[in-house]
Amino acid sequence: MGGGAEAKDGDPAAGLYVVATPLGNLGDLSVRARAVLTAADFIACEDRRTTGNLLRHLGLSRPLIAYHEHNERTAAGTIAERVAAGESVALVSDAGTPTISDPGFRVVRECRRRGLPVFPVPGPSAALAALSASGLPSDAFLFLGFPPPRSAARRKLLQEWKNFAGTVIFYESCHRIVAFVAEALEELGPDRTVAVGRELTKLHESWHVGPLTTVAVNLARERPRGEYVLLIGPENFSF
């Protein structure tokens, strides 16, 4: 089933399968991800309800174990023990790729620490989806996840990376995206080329691309809703 790890009798090979799930468009679930979810002994998920809904849409039913920020340390041990006992486990998060600004890291690390097999089942992730369609340089990039909540810390982070010779990618919530882009304008100047991707792969997907000054003005005009990725191009880059 995974990484060329199909067992001879057709049963999935024991291991932890890190399975990417859609960001919003169910058509983005890969054929292999579906096969892994169908055959896994159980699915370790961030939230039972969210993953339960996904499985229902797919017409699947598998046992679920919840792991999340607050129980991940204990859950990691339990999950790793079951992998060690020969079970196949699919690790998913609510959307996109587990461990990428999502829980799951401790589960993967615990399996690696015990020398157990871990297989990626790659697919959607908002950072790479946004980068690939942004038109900003993609040969070198830096993913910084969610910026800190406090303005001073965000400004410091922007200063720290403003000379990076590639694209810098941030996740941000609808509550803070306008403020963060305004801070970027002040810290990086009006001409820096940026892209803001919203609700990627979903019905209301939209983009703002261009100089920071224009993007900041246009973004401030709309009522921010949904999920956002901010990409900041390197100095002296323009379309």
Residues of the shown chain interacting with ligand SAM in the complex, contacts defined by CB under 6 A: 23-24, 93, 95-97, 100-102, 125-127, 171-173, 197-202, 227-229
Minimum distance, C-beta of residue 28 to ligand SAM, in the bound complex (Å): 10
Query: According to DSSP H, which parts of the chain are helical?
Result: 31-39, 48-58, 72-84, 105-113, 126-134, 151-161, 177-188, 212-221
Q: Give the residue with the Cβ less far from ligand SAM, 192 or 198.
A: 198
Q: From CA 209, how far away is CA 197, in angstroms rounded?
A: 8
Minimum distance, C-beta of residue 14 to ligand SAM, in the bound complex (Å): 25
| 200 and 174 Cβ atoms separated by less than 8 Å | no
Q: Give the residue with the Cβ less far from ligand SAM, 122 or 189.
A: 122
Minimum distance, C-beta of residue 159 to ligand SAM, in the bound complex (Å): 22
Q: Phi then psi for 169, rounded to 5 degrees? A: -115, 130
Minimum distance, C-beta of residue 97 to ligand SAM, in the bound complex (Å): 4
Q: Give the residue with the Cβ less far from ligand SAM, 144 or 229.
A: 229
Q: ∠ CA 30-26-138 to the nearest 5 degrees? A: 65
Q: Give the residue with the Cβ less far from ligand SAM, 119 or 171.
A: 171
Minimum distance, C-beta of residue 49 to ligand SAM, in the bound complex (Å): 16
214 residue type, one letter = T
C-alpha pair distances (Å), 119 with each of 6, 20, 166: 12, 11, 29
Q: Give the residue with the Cβ less far from ligand SAM, 14 or 194.
A: 194
Residue whose C-beta lies closest to ligand SAM? 96
Q: From CA 59, how far away is CA 154, in angstroms rounded?
A: 43
